[in-house]
Structure 1
């Protein structure tokens, strides 16, 4: 039941609900204050403002500058709420677009973070490195399944960025490497010393999944699943 309270000598009344909202004593305001929308705050404020103007002292009217400031604050709250809604909608659209882009990569060969490649019938799957800075020399060490170094590839001077490597799989003596899986590590010489560039492995994109954070994941032919943003090159 809604009760009315008389304010001032002119007999003006205000609902108890509105007074509770002003004083923060209503059970609803205590339980759901955190969920109050900008629109609700604005409506409540306008009701309070009208009641205040009706019951102001004629000899000491309310300060118009304070009223303007309060209106600006309410508009700010409403604007922030609308901005949050817009950003949420935009994020959903971006996620959908990422899924579409990722689907276009199915059956494509990509370079993704990895440290291995395969040799079959005298041919090696691709690999590469990523450099953060200029390097006067970059070398890739190739090891077999037993951990033995079978060859070292000298890429020479390189600029920052992704560097795909096409290589005929041979050992130090020029003999063809047997079929199997090999691992790679990279080292670089820079103006500030030595570095360890990130290595990349080539694989075919076989499918797309939705990861726990909502972003698309690429299922690769080497058994790994990587994020779309980690793809360094499409080869």
Structure 2
């Protein structure tokens, strides 16, 4: 069996000067495979040579590996584009208020704070408790009956200096004698955006950092 044609192909394995990184990797993989195949054919047992089925099987293996490399390259390119698109969207949020999971209200210099919450179902009585950092109740007020879904609230401290820069709040909702589940959200201003490990993060004016997909609403 002549191997001259195969040897010639293996020898001319250098990628063109303008080839992309993906193309070079593919050519390098094919080059290594062909060199191994040539060496195998040159050193095969003359009494038990490779048959066509064996050669075809090995060719199929290199094609499979090349296909997987192309697929991975395509997925990585799509992820990069997605991250870049998210970064552009995130940049438009700088200076905007957002709702993120939490139970705190950041107070301005007038002692005013705002937040939000979701009710799982309709409630005929909704109570808000405002607490200081130690857990002591600073204020308690009623919101009355509310439908299921998103709601917003505001609070102003009687003494801004005593309340500090941040307070916590707690929602208690009932429909008759049954409790209604409430999910609380902190309201904060987006100060900057950044990417970390391929995901977009928002730096909040209050000092925290949240993932882009944690934003529940833009206000």
Distance of aligned partners of 1:194 and 1:67 in 2 relative to their CA distance in 1, 3 Å threshold: farther
C-alpha separation in 2, matches of 1:103 and 1:119: 25
* RMSD (Å) for aligned C-alpha atoms: 4.2
Structure 1: 5+ residue stretches without partners: 1-7, 19-36, 171-175
Q: 1:183 aligns with which of 149, 155, 168?
A: 168
1:143 matches 2:130: yes
Task: Decide whether the 8 Å contact of 2:106 with 2:187 is kept in 1.
Answer: no
1:156 corresponds to: 146
2:184 corresponds to: 199
Structure 2: 5+ residue stretches without partners: 11-24
Q: 2:89 aligns with which of 77, 95, 101?
A: 101
Q: 1:86 aligns with which of 65, 74, 78?
A: 74
Shift of residue 75 of structure 1?
A: 0.5
Task: Decide whether the 8 Å contact of 1:128 with 1:165 is kept in 2.
Answer: yes
1:215 matches 2:199: yes
* Residue deviations 1:47-106 (CA, integer Å, cap 9, x gap): 454676789899987543333332221111111122222323332232222222111111
Distance of aligned partners of 1:55 and 1:217 in 2 relative to their CA distance in 1, 3 Å threshold: closer
C-alpha separation in 2, matches of 1:196 and 1:230: 20
1:3 corresponds to: none
* Residue deviations 1:166-212 (CA, integer Å, cap 9, x gap): 44x37xxxxx854444311235569xx8575432111221222344x
Shift of residue 113 of structure 1?
A: 2.2
Distance of aligned partners of 1:151 and 1:70 in 2 relative to their CA distance in 1, 3 Å threshold: same
Count of matched residue positions in the alignment of Structure 1 and Structure 2: 191
C-alpha separation in 2, matches of 1:74 and 1:121: 67
Task: Decide whether the 8 Å contact of 1:117 with 1:126 is kept in 2.
Answer: yes
Higher normalized contact order (CA 8 Å, seq sep 6+, divided by chain length): 2
